Amino acid sequence: MPQNTVALPRLSMLTHEQCQVIHRASLEILRCTGVRVYHDGALALLRETDAAITDENLVRLPAGLVEWALKQAPSRIVLCKRGSSDVAAPLEGHRPEPAEGRTVNFGPGSDCPNYLDPRSGERRRFTTADAVDCLHVCDALPEIAFVMSMGIPSDGGASNVYRQQYALMLEHTTKPAVFVCDDRADCEAIAAMAAAAAGGME
């Protein structure tokens, strides 16, 4: 397939020098004021460093530790199809590789209540079958890097609709799935589904 070259404009609100001023100020805040850390595992790790911990969880971080941590961040991140190493969506890290440059990934949207049926031309309520059709199309298109539900199926009942959407995405594509939820319970249920499909929470 031929590759199209597109000029990607970039809007910069701050210069590199202005970003550095903000970064230096944030290092000073972390060193002098500190930050409350409520995660026991994170506190245990910080106790093994030269961070100053007082009042049980007030952590003051030296600049060198923060700079070291920033350097540990990956220069490149990719989202792969579930169960494979096939890259679905490359994401630009803070040190992009020259060959990749800036990346733009495309995918569908979510939660349309209505559907324009491509077969009949009819505008009607979105159904589970429509969601499945749309997911199959997205799964087949190499230009689509991730999926979303595209619609709210009207035939699946009003309760747990976002869980139903995510279950359909898991069943009909291996591309990365972006989900919507109503509350924490939805989010936890969807995370459990994802973990079951992936073989674990990690």
Residue 91 pLDDT: 74
In whole angstroms, give the CA distance from residue 127 to residue 162. Answer: 13
Residue 4 pLDDT: 62
**Would you say the pTM of this structure is higher than 0.85?**
no
Residue 8 pLDDT: 66
**Higher-pLDDT residue of 129, 8:** 129
Instruction: Report the range of poorest mean pLDDT among 72-81, 105-114, 131-140, 186-195.
Output: 72-81
Mean pLDDT for the stretch of residues 147-166? 91
187 in Cβ contact with 95 (< 8 Å): no
Asked whether residue 94 carries a pLDDT value surpassing 60, the answer given is: no
Query: What letter represents residue 126's amino acid?
Result: F
Confidence of residue 39 (pLDDT cuts 50, 70, 90): very high
Mean pLDDT for the stretch of residues 168-184? 95
Confidence of residue 97 (pLDDT cuts 50, 70, 90): very low
Alpha-carbon torsion (172, 177, 183, 188), positive or negative:
positive
Mean pLDDT for the stretch of residues 148-154? 93
Question: Please, what's the b/e burial string for 173-185 (b: 16 or more CB within 10 A of its CB; e: otherwise)?
Answer: bbbbbebbbeeee
